[in-house]
Amino acid sequence: MRILVFNAGSSSLKFGVFEGARGEGGETRQLVKGAFERFREGACAFALEIDGVAERGEAPHGDLGAAIAAVPGVLAQHGIDGIEAVGHRIVHGGAEFATPAVLDAPTLARIEALTPLAPLHNPANLHAVRLAQAVWPDLPQVGVFDTAFHLTNPPRVYSYAVPAAWREAGLRRFGFHGTSHKYVAERAAQALGQPLARLRIISVHLGNGASVCAINLGKSFESSMGLTALEGLVMGTRSGDVDPGAFGYLQRQLGLGIEEIEQALYSDSGLKGLTGSSDMRDVEDRAAAGDAAAQMAINLYAHRARKYIGAYAAGMGGVDAVVFTGGIGENSASMRRRICDGLDFMGLRLDFDRNQSVDLAGRAAPQIQSYGARVAVLVTETAEQLQIAREVAAHLSRPEAEVRPIPVAVSGRHVHLAEDSLKALFGPEYALTIAKQLRQPGNWAANERVTLVGPKGRLENVAILGPLRRRTQIEVSRTDSFALGIDAPVRDSGDLDGTPTVRLIGPHGQLDTDGLIVAARHVHMHPDDAQAMGLEDGQMVSVRIGQGERALTFGHTKIRIQPNAFTEMHIDTDEANASGIGPNWVGEVIEMEAHLGA
């Protein structure tokens, strides 16, 4: 499948043509790599690479619109045809676009309504879409959203502590650069030879736009950008973090209006506001020549990034790898060094020679940490266009799936015991007795009960489910965790490393054990149902439960295919209470997310 990808950013236009197998898992090859950047009056820098032959120079395009309009001619000039679909990077998709979407008129209207949240980006994205629709009116145009990857952020991360009416109006954190962070995390896991779902990764995207993303066990946990692409790191022309009280202060002191302040924060701040130049290459050259303003800007830039890395390591309870990407992250050895210096306390140390000799040819992801360091540090070229092409191909290649009802079961608090825990709680020779069989074959509820005790309170008569497991696991709701006074993480069953400790009390004794989680919602699925519905093991889906005004959609629900499973969705009591779900409710899969693998 041949796909043209447009990536229209705030200060550059990247485009590419990709050839790849239909669907997921096939190799995708880049045929064309092009870019227009460093716009100035009536001209810009131009780069093109086709079949390994590169050309660079200046093009007569003074802005993004002119550059976008030039792409069809560039492709025709080099004999590139046979385009089957056009993929577009869309920066802001709000809370509703969790997966790629065909860009028809209603969808474009919804994206346009989000423009106030991304005024530098969404207009350029939409301009590229409309041009492509005019040139290739019969081809599908598909949007891939920067914000989609971050929709897995928990409420404590995406919520602002502001009045309820503001939050109800849509004021929340979204995060951006999601396509880049997603690709970087997958590439880092591949380079480390580890499943992404077992790694805690901090992706540091440093370019004209910059952000840091904490990727916890394969999911975006937090990003430095917020409601808009202004929050977080110092950027080329954007301020990053600023006290919101600045708006009132600047209005009173300088008589500036909201629009003036906002415009300045987007276009006249960041490196440009500190030094007069938005290009880190210029700033580093001036700093080396003794420019005090440039030196301060570099120190501020590095400090902000280092601060976020430390915070995200704490938020995830540790970090396995830090990955640098983006124009600055890929090319500035000195900035990588400045950011990493001082992080020895968390086991992160750079090797001087490895950092100085980074080679990213062939989409390499070299490691640059000191030998023996606890945290891996990698550098890799971001490949947003490649990731977009993959997701567009997967989205357009999905077969028409059969809709089958999925029974919904509400799972109350319970414990799965390991053999050593059973002995500690009930005695050395004790065997659990079966009270009733559960719908999942081989699983049963025991007659016995235990008590859970935390620093705040206790939960009595907690059910035990059999059979015994290799490791003790305790599943509670979020409300239960507050009753105990312990912050239990949302985890897949069996993913227990780094989970908090809770005390279990039985009739024979007590023990303190880790393994306390809030179980991530999931669907147990029989292989026959999975095949009919076009689903894969480990895939994330959205499930709609109920009809009409009472309908509710549960996003990011994991499919777990097991040979003898009874197809059934499991949610906890908090989710059931919040949505009014009772016995005999069913749901249906309405959206499938790209399969991330193990």
Q: What is the pLDDT averaged over residues 532-555?
A: 81
Q: Is the pLDDT of residue 399 over 80?
A: no
Cα–Cα distance measured from residue 187 to residue 203, given in angstroms and rounded to the nearest whole number: 11
Q: Is the pLDDT of residue 486 over 80?
A: yes
> Annotation-wise, does 2 bind a ligand?
no
Confidence at residue 597, expressed as pLDDT on a 0 to 100 scale = 41
Task: Please state the separation of Cα 457 from the chain's center in Å.
Answer: 35
> Annotation-wise, does 216 bind a ligand?
no
- The domain boundary, picked from 395, 429, 448, lies at 395
Classify residue 154: in a domain, yes or no: no
Position 40 confidence tier, pLDDT thresholds 50, 70, 90: confident
Q: What is the pLDDT averaged over residues 179-194?
A: 96
426 and 567 inside one domain: yes
Structure-token pair, residue 542: 């959205």
Give the CA dihedral 263, 265, 270, 276, nearest 10 degrees.
50
Confidence at residue 592, expressed as pLDDT on a 0 to 100 scale = 72
Confidence at residue 555, expressed as pLDDT on a 0 to 100 scale = 79
Structure-token pair, residue 193: 């030879």
**In CATH, what number is assigned to the domain containing residue 389?**
3.30.420.40
Cα–Cα distance measured from residue 111 to residue 103, given in angstroms and rounded to the nearest whole number: 9
428 and 479 inside one domain: yes
Position 556 confidence tier, pLDDT thresholds 50, 70, 90: confident
Classify residue 579: in a domain, yes or no: yes
Judge contact between 545 and 586, C-beta under 8 A.
Answer: yes
* Helix H or strand E encompassing 253: helix 246-254
Least confident of 69-78, 344-353, 419-428, 456-465: 69-78
Q: What is the pLDDT averaged over residues 108-117?
A: 91
Cα–Cα distance measured from residue 422 to residue 418, given in angstroms and rounded to the nearest whole number: 6
Task: Give the start-end residues of each E strand in 105-199.
Answer: 141-145
Share of the chain above pLDDT 70, in %: 96
356 and 284 inside one domain: yes
Query: To the nearest whole number, what is the mean pLDDT of the chain?
Result: 92
> Annotation-wise, does 327 bind a ligand?
yes
**Domain limits for position 117:** 1-145
Cα–Cα distance measured from residue 308 to residue 474, given in angstroms and rounded to the nearest whole number: 32
> Annotation-wise, does 331 bind a ligand?
yes
Which of 428, 451, 447 is closest to 506 using CA atoms? 451
300 and 380 inside one domain: yes
* Helix H or strand E encompassing 559: strand 552-561
Classify residue 167: in a domain, yes or no: no
Which of 64, 54, 29, 58 is closest to 43 using CA atoms? 58
> Annotation-wise, does 7 bind a ligand?
yes
Position 598 confidence tier, pLDDT thresholds 50, 70, 90: very low
387 and 409 inside one domain: no
Position 10 confidence tier, pLDDT thresholds 50, 70, 90: low
Cα–Cα distance measured from residue 453 to residue 460, given in angstroms and rounded to the nearest whole number: 9
Confidence at residue 575, expressed as pLDDT on a 0 to 100 scale = 86
Position 354 confidence tier, pLDDT thresholds 50, 70, 90: very high
Cα–Cα distance measured from residue 41 to residue 62, given in angstroms and rounded to the nearest whole number: 5
pLDDT in tens, 188-225: 999 999 999 899 999 999 999 999 999 998 999 999 99
Q: What is the pLDDT averaged over residues 445-473?
A: 97
* Residue matched to tokens 């937090």: 222
- The domain boundary, picked from 377, 395, 413, lies at 395
Classify residue 482: in a domain, yes or no: yes
HSE, CB side, 13 Å, CA atoms: give it for residue 486: 27
428 and 575 inside one domain: yes
How many structural domains are present in the chain? 3
pLDDT in tens, 255-290: 999 999 999 999 999 999 999 999 999 999 999 999
Confidence at residue 596, expressed as pLDDT on a 0 to 100 scale = 44
> Annotation-wise, does 196 bind a ligand?
no
Q: Does the CA dihedral 575-579-580-586 come out positive or negative?
A: negative
Classify residue 151: in a domain, yes or no: no
Q: Is the pLDDT of residue 25 over 60?
A: no
User: Which residues make Cβ contacts (< 8 Å) with residue 245, sequence separation at least 6?
Assistant: none
pLDDT in tens, 511-539: 999 999 999 999 999 999 999 998 889 88
φ/ψ of 214, rounded to 5, equals -90, 120
253 and 385 inside one domain: yes
> Annotation-wise, does 466 bind a ligand?
no
Confidence at residue 403, expressed as pLDDT on a 0 to 100 scale = 82
123 and 272 inside one domain: no
364 and 439 inside one domain: no
410 and 536 inside one domain: yes
Q: Is the pLDDT of residue 584 over 60?
A: yes
The radius of gyration of the chain from alpha carbons, rounded to an integer in Å, stands at 26
- The domain boundary, picked from 395, 423, 450, lies at 395
Confidence at residue 325, expressed as pLDDT on a 0 to 100 scale = 98
9 and 118 inside one domain: yes
Classify residue 161: in a domain, yes or no: no
Which of 550, 588, 551, 596 is closest to 569 using CA atoms? 588
- Residue 460 burial (C-beta neighbours within 10 Å; 0-12, 13-18, 19+): exposed
Q: What is the pLDDT averaged over residues 481-488?
A: 96
Task: Report, as residue numbers or ranges, the catalytic residues.
Answer: 146
* Residue matched to tokens 């009132």: 248
19 and 130 inside one domain: yes
Q: Is the pLDDT of residue 21 over 80?
A: no
Position 131 confidence tier, pLDDT thresholds 50, 70, 90: confident
- Residue 578 burial (C-beta neighbours within 10 Å; 0-12, 13-18, 19+): exposed
Whether the bond between 467 and the residue before it is cis, its omega within 30 degrees of 0, is yes
Classify residue 581: in a domain, yes or no: yes
Q: What is the pLDDT averaged over residues 154-183?
A: 94
Classify residue 134: in a domain, yes or no: yes
Position 554 confidence tier, pLDDT thresholds 50, 70, 90: confident
> Annotation-wise, does 208 bind a ligand?
yes
